[in-house]
Structure 1
Amino acid sequence: MHMPTPTDVVQAQLDAYNAHDVSALAAIYADHVQQFQHPDVLLAEGSAQIAARFTARFAASRPQARLLNRIACGKLVIDHEIVTSVTDAGTTEQELVATYEVVDGRIARAWFAFA
């Protein structure tokens, strides 16, 4: 079995996010993953915290990420996205840039910069 490319891994993450599939997302992230608000504010560390963040996010709204552009260079994949969230209060859109570092077929670190 071949190792998925970093782009394959990040696309699987985007697909699982849009499907609101916390189990699939947790499997895509490394056990000791770190998520940051760019550049260095730690948002979550470890697969349990990542799963808890996604569970809370999906309970609060039904977010859908639309990929605007993707750049891949070695183990880094950078996505420019618009995330649309629907809640009882209405619909919001958030533009962001997500940078993923893929190691051994899983996301090891991720940074999010919000417009």
Structure 2
Amino acid sequence: MIDNTAPVQRQLDAYNAKDLAAFVACYHPDIAIYRMPATAPSLKGRAALEAFYKAERFTIAALRAEVLQRMVVGNKVIDHEKVYGIAEQPYEVVVVYDVQDGLIINAWFYPVG
């Protein structure tokens, strides 16, 4: 049986370690990131993902995320996360990861609140 949580957990660990290469390796070359309620991806493709996280996220010293709750439905991994370092106060987000062949091919970020 395929463990669809494995690439999601690996990318979370790499995110918290600010390990860009390990982080990007968890994603499909055609990754699409959606920041809801947008209908078009905010990031498309591994190169765009790598450039964004290199410049906009992994430069933040206090950056980290913790999973408050995780649910798996088929090839979807749904994480309720608390994110630190981006805003003045930590904030919560729900992320739906679409896992295909051991890589994350789509991710939808839903703000909480």
TM-score with structure 2 setting the length? 0.89
Partners in 2 of 1:6 and 1:53 — Cα distance? 25
> Residue in 2 aligned with 1:55?
54
Partners in 2 of 1:11 and 1:4 — Cα distance? 14
TM-score with structure 1 setting the length? 0.87
SS at match of 2:90: strand
Between 19-28 and 57-66, the greater mean CA deviation after superposition? 57-66
> Residue in 2 aligned with 1:93?
90
5+ long unaligned stretches in structure 2: none
> Residue in 1 aligned with 2:83?
83
Instruction: Report the Cα offset of residue 50 of structure 1.
Output: 0.5
SS at match of 1:42: coil
Instruction: Report the Cα offset of residue 20 of structure 1.
Output: 0.6
Regions of 4+ moved over 4 Å: none
1:39-91: CA deviation from partner (whole Å, max 9, x where unpaired): 424110000001111112111443110110000011100000101107xxx84
Letter in 2 for 1:114: P
**Higher strand proportion:** 1
Partners in 1 of 2:34 and 2:51 — Cα distance? 15
Distance change >3 Å, CA 76–CA 23, structure 1 → 2: same
1:9-65: CA deviation from partner (whole Å, max 9, x where unpaired): 111111011001110111110001100012424110000001111112111443110
Partners in 1 of 2:40 and 2:93 — Cα distance? 16
5+ long unaligned stretches in structure 1: none
RMSD of aligned Cα (Å): 1.8
Instruction: Give the fraction of aligned pairs with identical amino acids, expressed as a percent.
Output: 38
1:26 to 18, 24, 48: 24
**Count of residues in correspondence between the two structures:** 110
